[in-house]
Amino acid sequence: MKHSIKVRYAMIFVGLMAFVLMSTWCVNTLFLESFYTSNKVRILEKAYTEIDGMVTRANKNGKGIIQYYKDTYDQDYKNEGPAQKMFRAMGEKYNLMMVLIDSTTDEALMSTSGDRQFLKNRVEDYIFGKDMPDANVLKKHDNYVIQKTYDHRSDSYYLESWGYFSDNKTIFLVSIPLASIRDSVSLSNRFLAYVGGIALLIGSGIIYLTTKRITSPILTLANLSEKMSDLDFDVKYNGTEMDEIGILGNSMNKLSDRLKEAIGKLRTANEELQKDIEEKVKIDEMRKDFIANVSHELKTPIALIQGYAEGLTEGMAEDPESRDYYCEVIVDEANKMNKMVRQLLNLTAIEFNDNIHKDRFDLAELIHGVLSSAEILIQHSQASVSFENTGSIYVFADEFKIEEVITNYLNNALNHLSGEREVVITAEKSGEEALVTVFNTGQWIPEEDLPKLWTKFFKVDKAHTREYGGSGIGLSIVKAIMDSHEKSCGVRNVVGGVEFWFTLDCYPED
């Protein structure tokens, strides 16, 4: 990943480690020798102070340093006295080569090196200015100087302190080789390179794993936010971290829940708004269809009434028989319009005012009453109507509206009879419901038209409907009444004809 935090952190760590290693190497190379030299200068000054104190104490007692400390020089260090022991300890501790010379006797009193004569000759050369080597004076005191000297014989540098002690007769030379510090610096730099390289590799691995542990939950949060942007709010951050990333993960979970809730509400509101819009569009379409259908249904009777009325006024029917015919047509068309208007008012009242008055009544008795009232109409239709039931069926509904449903079903069956011209009405109890069916012999209704029968002004056979004066509203009234009762109604093609049905709630028996 080009801009990965993990890679950037690893690169920053590697850069810092490399910078620290390079800085340490440069400091070692440039300043370690100077620091070492300064430290050795202090050692030379310290050695001078300690030896001068020993010499001073010996001279105060009128004795030389050897007589005062009852010391003799012992090359094997077996019978060494306090002075020689101090020389040996300083030589071993600080890698010093020292020699003390009595200027009055030109005798080497004490030294730390087996090459005693070489040191004696060297300090005498310094005193008398003979064969002076390449030297750089670092510090100059009253009785002695500290210098950095190059020795051609050994091709090495030395720090040397030489001069007189405070008794002005004891000459000394203290020398420290400097070649070892350069080797030490080089060795230290090589060791630092090896150790630093290994530390860099191990540290890079550790920082890589550490940053991976840090960036993994960040990548998880990134994937989670990407899914949230796609409106998938079921994903959750399951990390157990208690740090800032854990807090961020918990915050994103809360945000996800709130967004899910808010978008859910918006979706619900949008669905309801969409339903309202669709309902308004549907109502508007129904309004347009209603106006068009009413206009169409009223156009013919109004035209007939107008035509026959104009004929009467123009004297086209002078004889009583013609006038009576004209008047019958006008009255008949006016009755049809009146019937349609009353049906529309009834349908509107049912659709927009669901005030139904339910009560207990006998459904079988109601059907018998409807058949008795329609006896003349049945005879005029030359129909054979039968009612099949098993006795009283008590239901809980609005008796007057259910009577209208049965009447509409019966009129519809009588108007569409053919063949054997039979109408069969059944009523039976099925569990907690009562089922009423009205069957009539006749032609089947096309399957694609069955759902449309309940729509206002829909007519399967418009010419036939015009014959018996139908308006296409009756079945719409049935559907509205059953919807107000929250019950079902329907129609199906059966063997020999068509069957309409509806259900009602039975009245619970005590």
- Name the nearest CA neighbour of 176 among 84, 92, 76, 83: 92
pLDDT band at residue 438 using 50, 70 and 90 as cut-offs: very high
Residue 498: pLDDT band by 50, 70, 90 thresholds? very high
| Closest among 449, 450, 478, 457 to 351, alpha carbons compared | 478
pLDDT score for 492: 92
Name the percent of the chain in helix, strand, coil, to the closest 5.
Answer: 60, 20, 25
- pLDDT in the model for residue 337: 72
CATH code matching the domain that covers 356-505, chosen among 3.40.30.120, 3.10.20.30, 3.30.565.10, 2.40.30.10? 3.30.565.10
pTM value is 0.43
The CATH classification of domain 5-185, taken from the options 3.40.1620, 3.40.50, 3.40.190, 3.30.450: 3.30.450
DSSP for 363-381, please give it: HHHHHHHHHHHTHHHHHHT
Q: What phi and psi values does residue 172 have, to the nearest 5 degrees?
A: -140, 160
Contact 354, 484 (CB under 8 A): yes
How many whole angstroms separate alpha carbon 448 and alpha carbon 109? 138
pLDDT of residue 260: 77
* In 31-132, beta strands by DSSP E: 97-102, 107-111
Instruction: Tell me 393's DSSP state.
Output: -
Calculate the dihedral angle through the C-alpha atoms of 442, 448, 452, 458, rounding to the nearest 10 degrees. -60
Band the pLDDT of 465: cuts 50, 70, 90: very low
In the DSSP assignment, the letter for residue 30 is I
Which of 371-402 are b and which e, b meaning 16 or more Cβ less than 10 Å from the residue's Cβ? beebeeebeebebebeeebeeebbbebbbebb
Residues 6 or more apart from 231 whose CB is under 8 A from it?
263
**CA separation (Å) from 446 to 438, 449, 450, 493, 498?**
18, 5, 7, 9, 11
Is the model more confident about 402 or about 115? 402
Where do the structural domains in the chain lie, given as residue ranges? 5-185, 356-505
Across 297-306, average pLDDT: 70
Query: In three state form, how does the secondary structure of 408-457 look?
Result: HHHHHHHHCCCCCCEEEEEEEEECCEEEEEEEEECCCCCHHHHHHHHCCC
pLDDT number for residue 114: 59
Amino acid at 15: G
182 pLDDT band, cuts 50/70/90, is low
Contact 84, 110 (CB under 8 A): yes
Q: What is the pLDDT of residue 463?
A: 45
Q: What is the pLDDT of residue 500?
A: 94
